[in-house]
Amino acid sequence: MDFTIDPQVAALRDRVRGFIDGVVIPNEPNVEPHGYPAPERLRSLRDAAKGAGLFAPHVGMEFGGLGLDVRAQTVVFEEAGRSLFGPLALNCSAPDEGNMHLLEKVANAAQKEQYLRPLAAGEIRSCFAMTEKAPGAGSDPSMLQTRAVRRGNRWVIDGDKWFITGADGAAFTICMARTGEKIDRADGATMFLVDAGAPGLTIDRETPSLDHFAIGGHCEMHFRGVEVGDDAILGEVGKGYVYAQVRLGPARLTHCMRWLGVAVRAQEVAVAYALERTSFGRTLAEHGAVQTMLADNAIDIEAARQLTRYAAWVLDSGGAGRAETSTAKVFVAEATGRVVDRALQICGSSGVAGTRPLERFYREIRAFRIYDGPSEVHRMALAERIVRNARAARA
Amino acid sequence: MDFTIDPQVAALRDRVRGFIDGVVIPNEPNVEPHGYPAPERLRSLRDAAKGAGLFAPHVGMEFGGLGLDVRAQTVVFEEAGRSLFGPLALNCSAPDEGNMHLLEKVANAAQKEQYLRPLAAGEIRSCFAMTEKAPGAGSDPSMLQTRAVRRGNRWVIDGDKWFITGADGAAFTICMARTGEKIDRADGATMFLVDAGAPGLTIDRETPSLDHFAIGGHCEMHFRGVEVGDDAILGEVGKGYVYAQVRLGPARLTHCMRWLGVAVRAQEVAVAYALERTSFGRTLAEHGAVQTMLADNAIDIEAARQLTRYAAWVLDSGGAGRAETSTAKVFVAEATGRVVDRALQICGSSGVAGTRPLERFYREIRAFRIYDGPSEVHRMALAERIVRNARAARA
Amino acid sequence: MDFTIDPQVAALRDRVRGFIDGVVIPNEPNVEPHGYPAPERLRSLRDAAKGAGLFAPHVGMEFGGLGLDVRAQTVVFEEAGRSLFGPLALNCSAPDEGNMHLLEKVANAAQKEQYLRPLAAGEIRSCFAMTEKAPGAGSDPSMLQTRAVRRGNRWVIDGDKWFITGADGAAFTICMARTGEKIDRADGATMFLVDAGAPGLTIDRETPSLDHFAIGGHCEMHFRGVEVGDDAILGEVGKGYVYAQVRLGPARLTHCMRWLGVAVRAQEVAVAYALERTSFGRTLAEHGAVQTMLADNAIDIEAARQLTRYAAWVLDSGGAGRAETSTAKVFVAEATGRVVDRALQICGSSGVAGTRPLERFYREIRAFRIYDGPSEVHRMALAERIVRNARAARA
Amino acid sequence: MDFTIDPQVAALRDRVRGFIDGVVIPNEPNVEPHGYPAPERLRSLRDAAKGAGLFAPHVGMEFGGLGLDVRAQTVVFEEAGRSLFGPLALNCSAPDEGNMHLLEKVANAAQKEQYLRPLAAGEIRSCFAMTEKAPGAGSDPSMLQTRAVRRGNRWVIDGDKWFITGADGAAFTICMARTGEKIDRADGATMFLVDAGAPGLTIDRETPSLDHFAIGGHCEMHFRGVEVGDDAILGEVGKGYVYAQVRLGPARLTHCMRWLGVAVRAQEVAVAYALERTSFGRTLAEHGAVQTMLADNAIDIEAARQLTRYAAWVLDSGGAGRAETSTAKVFVAEATGRVVDRALQICGSSGVAGTRPLERFYREIRAFRIYDGPSEVHRMALAERIVRNARAARA
């Protein structure tokens, strides 16, 4: 049991912190209608990150990244997350980051060259199309309605996806479609790589939304007789939900890491405000009610960090980490939400108004309790696992 | 002890409900960048409300209102609050509603004709300028920095106000300024009626903000040598904070009433979704975790309602209701926030996206835990009162 | 809508307060192994209450009580509840109080003379035997296993009851038994009046238990061929669960009232301690974290009180009050538990130790979240009602 | 960063688990008035632990222990904590365990032979006398009133201690007394080793108390002219509060470890009950509200465990760990309290009654939020540290 951060990782962390403080945060606009860096600004931030040797930290070196394992990602992504623009600058933001991971694990060599290489280089964006509106696949994947049917040597995809983050402007989509009659965790669905502009594919951007989350917004995607060949199949036919787990386990954790950075920053903002602002003859930092909130923030942040790192270690050790990533996801989503809420409360009207990052954080972080499995579904899954284990231990 | 709603009030409530469901909600746009009805839409909604005999329910009949007491307001405003456009349509939204109340209680006859009558008729808008940025008056009124100095038979106002809701477009402002050296609850500050366009007065609209709250946004107001005469004094010189209490006590409660309506509507939306959406072979409404949230919403709503009505009765009975309105304000602000949060969680991605009112409610309701006294300040005040009473009981 | 307390009830409340402060609290032992007044002490307290005209406030005057309606009970029971000995002294403690109510509503004239009259006079005690161990009737009444079979002109009762409060020393039991094949809310179970000492009836006292709750403890009762006649039937055959609702609705509320008194007292103890105890150069009452707890206690108490009174008014108005009593029960059980927990925390080691009433309150109040329906079951019932109503409104 | 448990420690953990399940839990009495093993039972449990090579795991091998570092203690004490008798059997229960640690770090060779050796061997018990009643030293050590005055070559101790755990029957006391005029963290107080039976020393056992916590209860100790020589001084004169930190840092953590074991056991009991008990046609484990509680327990337990291990690593790395042990203490005290509360709620009446360990756990665990620093004081200290660090970073 050793919580020491590898010295190389610690050095990288310090450089990321310097980069975020020195380069990224000064580029955070106070006022931006869409909430994301304009293309030129993004390009210049990414060039700076590349120049600093901080780009694509999670991607294998073969594809131009830093090749960090999951534990090292916990350290580096947290730092990057202190600005909402940080993960974009380092090209480790959702959904691209999860898609790179998935492609690295599952795609064949040609697919890697075609999709992973430019994605890792920050030349293109991507999206991941699984969720559907009621009565389709939401929390319950067996309700998947989008269907891919074999016709000759082609597959024809029909269906409607919803809340697909980053779809507007993505160069390609990883689309989950039903290819078998019955769907379960092990069989029945397949992932397809679909290029933007494929005939029959249309995209509607969802506006407004509480969060902006990522360049490209949340979108509806309509597949109407979209045709792809066998070369579009990611991995094997029928194994879509197996790969979804390959993607979702680490993707849950990388969300945790980035949002943890947001929580750390929110606390920094609140501490700075509490030191400045005076009320009833004392600084806010001397009021017991504010002290309680600052301390609770620190406790939530530390617990969130340790749960994330523990789960990362399980993944690095080769475990599937189902319980550990669910535990981290529920706790971190709720804890970081509480931290941002308390930070905003401490800052009062200054927190509500747009001159500080808190109102943006408050809107962005809310959906984390919902996507990649709502807290309620993770709790149900955890409970079922607990009960299953208890039953097994008895037998 | 009798919780019966007066039959006339109950009839009015039913008519307001019909009006909100039949006229206002269909006019809620799904997509609107600024979040408020365009002027023509607002005018048509208000004409409809006047036609239905529902306009300005809290204003005395002399000025064209329905003359409801505070208890009746609890019933009617809750119904109106089920749409964010409802209080606007009925002309009982903040900050105008609180200003009308204040003018009715404190203004002289000429001021009532000049300001109250057109405000009550919905012909003009107004704002209330008390809050200042650090190191000025926030939660602690003794820190007031805006100053009015007597020069000849004129008053010259200098200072900066901040987070002034509705300032952009308001026909007049009620401005709190220091007129004495020492400020306490009873003396030292004065309220002035300042017309829009007064030389030396400029307004900057704050964008973006988490909430939109009211037409006219949250603004900075800069007073630079703004001159007014004695006829601009509201009530008496030095009594500004006494009148602030006249305004704030009921204003806190009317906020509670309107936000309670938002909570009721959020619950309606969540219940409807839970009945439709299926997951893991059951409707959401059949999942225990969702049932728990629906029940907690109902409990929070009922407790919020009863605390609001109880405080309203205290005010109607002539009490100052300091403890009762603080109790209601803290509880209702937190409880309605929880209700909206749970409703959004139940609706999942549909709650986050803009096609349902929940994302808007979520953004709007957050600041209620901050304005009119943050929860922490009300709690401190409540505790000091409890301790003072205990000490007095011993002596 | 009028929250005024009837002047006669207010006068009675003041007299009860004086009695509790002057007579009952001085008789609270600091150290008592079983936690309840010894028989002589109880008798003397009851004689004092009779002398003061405060005895059996909920019972009709025909049977020697004060004949208060439910709203008046909310006022008087809260005062009585400020000492755990208070409701015992006034003969309005559980389970006797609920049994008196049930007998008054359902028993025939002979049964009233035999059971209600001496119970109302405090000459005997009683118990209510519904709950059974798994797999019997707990939260789910349809699982009832105790069975009464007609044999000739007698009924023979067999079964085991559990957690029966006050059974040890009770002069009679109201026993719920299955008399039909299928059990639902309307039919299938019957209540029998069974005298102590009936052949075949044995009682085991459960020790230890977290709470002591009532004289007579929580007991197991074993019915082995216990025979009773038709005169032992309470009301009609098959209507047991209908009567259970007659008993449980108000009984839930009277629990709320008494525990509310405990919460009020806990807050008084905490305030007194916070005024005395100094830490880091200030009294505890001047520490923000303690102020927050005192204010939260006050808010919880006021919300609990208003929800209880509202539900009481619904019952007095002839409503069944299912939703309102469930709402009150859940909220009050949890809120008063929080109040006692915070009071204990404020008092620190003094709260944990036995020299103040808080450790006793802490143990006693915990089970209120479980008996008369655990919070989870009430929430489920509330949610089902909400959904049922929403479905009906659509149709 | 490596969360792997050392294989030797893992093997020891498994043996402790086997010992607790096979030897200790079967010796937990269902009904015991004082809640602790009678002397013979304790002796036989300790002999068994010694036989199994599990005794005094935290003590250096020189004094007969297993010499575990703090990280290894987190693993082993958690297992031991699954029974309240476990730490007693292994001789690693409070307050003896903390005293052994303190003596090992600070005592001179003669003191170690006289006090540490027999304590480590389980031949005697000890106590730690710091806390005083108001207006003495509670959370704020500068309020210390017990005083030791130099008279000739003797020290004369006068003062009253309170809530001294384990004092009744302890062979010796470590008594904190004021030896300087001004007290701060670095100077002014001294620790003395005082033998039981010293002339002038009397002990009153506090009864009843919410918890029983340890053999020997919570006691008042009265020092009236108690004389000791220089050989009774632990470490150096004036350094009492420095040593208190030496004791308290790890002692806070070992409390966390043991209570974590209680939480784990509470969850096991609740899971077993939820699998057995049926309600509304399903096992409790299939009810969403129960699943939520089981999952929240698992999440709380895992977060508590990781925070404890992280702080242990800081201590093992030579850090003072003030922030980390405070963070762990607050979180673990509150989280394990929640776990026990939920477990009790799941078990319903069976949880309240004495036939399962939950009612005992519920009473015992409450004071952990108070002793070794109430949550409020730790939060204040954490906030002050955060603010101090932020101020330093600016300068």
Q: What is the DSSP string of B43-105?
A: HHHHHHHHHTT-SSTTS-GGGTS----HHHHHHHHHHHTTSTTHHHHTT--TTHHHHHHHHHH
In a domain, C57, yes or no: yes
Shared-domain flag, residues C158 and C96: no
Interface of B with C in 251-270 (CB under 8 A): 268
pLDDT at D309 over 50: yes
Shared-domain flag, residues A23 and A115: yes
Beta strands in A320-381 (DSSP E): none
3 state SS for A296-356? HHHHHHHHHHHHHHHHHHHHHCCCCCHHHHHHHHHHHHHHHHHHHHHHHHHHCHHHHECCC
- Give pLDDT tens digits for B88-124: 999 999 999 999 999 999 999 999 999 999 999 999 9
Please tell me if residue A291 touches chain B, with a CB cutoff of 8 Å.
no
Chain A CB contacts of D296 under 8 Å are 379
SS3 category, A181 = coil
Shared-domain flag, residues C255 and C297: yes
In this prediction the pTM is 0.96
- Give pLDDT tens digits for B284-339: 999 999 999 999 999 999 999 999 999 999 999 999 999 999 999 999 999 999 99
Shared-domain flag, residues D274 and D232: no
Percent of chain B scoring above 70 in pLDDT: 97
Last residue of a domain, one of C86, C104, C120: C120
pLDDT at B149 over 60: yes
**What does the pLDDT read at residue A1?**
92
Closest residue in chain D to residue B293, using alpha carbons only:
D289
**What does the pLDDT read at residue B378?**
97
pLDDT at D33 over 60: no
How far is the C-alpha of A376 from the C-alpha of B292, rounded, in Å? 11
Closest residue in chain D to residue A304, using alpha carbons only:
D303
Alpha-helical regions (H) of D81-186 = 86-89, 96-106, 109-111, 117-120
**Residue A194 DSSP code:** E
**What does the pLDDT read at residue B34?**
58
**What does the pLDDT read at residue A94?**
93
Please tell me if residue C279 touches chain B, with a CB cutoff of 8 Å.
no
**What does the pLDDT read at residue A34?**
58
Poorest-confidence range of A330-344, C226-240, C354-368? C354-368
**B255-266 average pLDDT score:** 98
Contact C383 B295 (CB under 8 A): yes
Q: Which helix (H) or strand (E) holds A203?
A: strand A201-205
Best residue in A3, A267, A376 for a mutation probing chain D (most D CBs within 10 Å): A3
Contact criterion met (CB below 8 Å) for A276 and A99: no
How far is the C-alpha of C261 from the C-alpha of C253, rounded, in Å? 13
Name all chains with 3 or more CB-CB pairs below 8 Å to chain B: A, C, D
Chain C CB contacts of A288 under 8 Å are 287-292
**What does the pLDDT read at residue C50?**
98
In a domain, D110, yes or no: yes
Q: Which helix (H) or strand (E) holds A189?
A: strand A189-195
Average pLDDT, chain D: 93
Chain B CB contacts of A143 under 8 Å are 278-279
Confidence of residue B207 (pLDDT cuts 50, 70, 90): low
Confidence of residue D31 (pLDDT cuts 50, 70, 90): very low
pLDDT at B33 over 80: no
How far is the C-alpha of D261 from the C-alpha of D267, rounded, in Å? 10
Please tell me if residue B206 touches chain A, with a CB cutoff of 8 Å.
yes
Shared-domain flag, residues D222 and D257: no
* CATH number for position A317: 1.20.140.10
- Give pLDDT tens digits for C10-32: 999 999 999 999 999 998 865 45
Contact B299 C380 (CB under 8 A): no
In which region does residue A278 sit, left (phi positive, over 0), alpha (psi from -120 to 50) or beta (all else)? beta
Poorest-confidence range of A338-342, B279-283, C198-202? B279-283
Residue A270, both tokens: 């609140």
Domain tally, chain C: 3
Chain B CB contacts of A355 under 8 Å are 206
Chain B CB contacts of D346 under 8 Å are none
**What does the pLDDT read at residue A207?**
65
In a domain, B261, yes or no: yes
Shared-domain flag, residues B24 and B94: yes
pLDDT at B31 over 50: no
Q: How far does B292 lie from chain D, in Å, by closest CA? A: 7
Residue B291, both tokens: 């049932």
Best residue in B210, B219, B290, B362 for a mutation probing chain A (most A CBs within 10 Å): B210
Question: Between the CA of residue A200 and those of A194, B42, B235, D153, what are the distances in Å?
Answer: 11, 41, 70, 99
**Closest C-alpha among A268, A267, A272, A254 to residue A308:** A254
Helices and strands of chain A, counted as H and E runs: 13, 10
10-residue mean pLDDT profile of chain A (395 residues): values are 96 98 86 69 95 97 97 98 96 96 97 98 96 84 92 96 93 96 86 97 84 82 97 96 89 97 98 93 95 98 98 96 97 98 95 84 95 95 97 88
Contact criterion met (CB below 8 Å) for C234 and C193: yes
Contact criterion met (CB below 8 Å) for C202 and C222: yes
Contacts of B239 (CB under 8 A, 6+ apart): B186, B187, B190, B191
Shared-domain flag, residues D326 and D347: yes
How many residues are recorded in chain A?
395
Percent of chain C scoring above 70 in pLDDT: 97
In which region does residue B64 sit, left (phi positive, over 0), alpha (psi from -120 to 50) or beta (all else)? left
Residue linked to tokens 């040609």: A110
How far is the C-alpha of D266 from the C-alpha of D342, rounded, in Å? 9
Contact B379 C296 (CB under 8 A): yes
Please tell me if residue C290 touches chain A, with a CB cutoff of 8 Å.
yes
Contact D349 C163 (CB under 8 A): yes
SS3 category, A256 = helix
Chain B CB contacts of A211 under 8 Å are 352
Please tell me if residue B279 touches chain D, with a CB cutoff of 8 Å.
no
Chain D CB contacts of B284 under 8 Å are none
**Closest C-alpha among B348, A367, A299, A309 to residue D300:** A299
Shared-domain flag, residues C234 and C256: no
Q: How far does D3 lie from chain A, in Å, by closest CA? A: 5
Beta strands in D199-339 (DSSP E): 201-205, 218-229, 233-234, 278-279, 282-283
Shared-domain flag, residues B268 and B312: yes
Last residue of a domain, one of B101, B120, B139: B120
Please tell me if residue B292 touches chain D, with a CB cutoff of 8 Å.
yes
Contact D313 A2 (CB under 8 A): yes
pLDDT at B168 over 80: yes
Residue B204, both tokens: 């900057």
Shared-domain flag, residues D352 and D338: yes
In a domain, D1, yes or no: no
- Give pLDDT tens digits for D81-100: 999 999 999 999 999 999 99
Beta strands in D235-347 (DSSP E): 278-279, 282-283
ipTM of the assembly?
0.95
**What does the pLDDT read at residue B355?**
66
Which domain does A322 fall in, by range? 245-394
| Nearest neighbour of B380 by CB, restricted to C291, C303, C323 | C291
* CATH number for position D172: 2.40.110.10
In a domain, C2, yes or no: no
- Give pLDDT tens digits for D213-269: 678 888 999 999 999 999 999 999 999 999 998 888 899 999 999 999 999 999 999
**What does the pLDDT read at residue D353?**
84
| Nearest neighbour of B310 by CB, restricted to C298, C306, C383 | C306
**What does the pLDDT read at residue B213?**
66
Contact D291 B289 (CB under 8 A): yes
Please tell me if residue B108 touches chain A, with a CB cutoff of 8 Å.
no
**What does the pLDDT read at residue B248?**
86
**What does the pLDDT read at residue C30?**
54
Last residue of a domain, one of B241, B275, B302: B241
In a domain, B351, yes or no: yes
**What does the pLDDT read at residue D355?**
66
* CATH number for position A14: 1.10.540.10
In a domain, A331, yes or no: yes
Shared-domain flag, residues A135 and A232: yes
How far is the C-alpha of D112 from the C-alpha of D116, rounded, in Å? 5
Please tell me if residue D361 touches chain C, with a CB cutoff of 8 Å.
no
Chain D CB contacts of C367 under 8 Å are 349, 352
Span between the terminal Cα atoms of chain B, in Å: 32
Q: How far does A186 lie from chain C, in Å, by closest CA? A: 34
Chain C CB contacts of D167 under 8 Å are none
Please tell me if residue B330 touches chain C, with a CB cutoff of 8 Å.
yes
Contact C370 D354 (CB under 8 A): no
Poorest-confidence range of B217-231, B348-362, C111-125? B348-362
Shared-domain flag, residues A281 and A365: yes
| Nearest neighbour of C295 by CB, restricted to B268, B302, B382 | B382
- Give pLDDT tens digits for D127-156: 999 999 888 887 788 889 999 999 999 999
In a domain, A1, yes or no: no
**B178-201 average pLDDT score:** 92
**What does the pLDDT read at residue C74?**
98
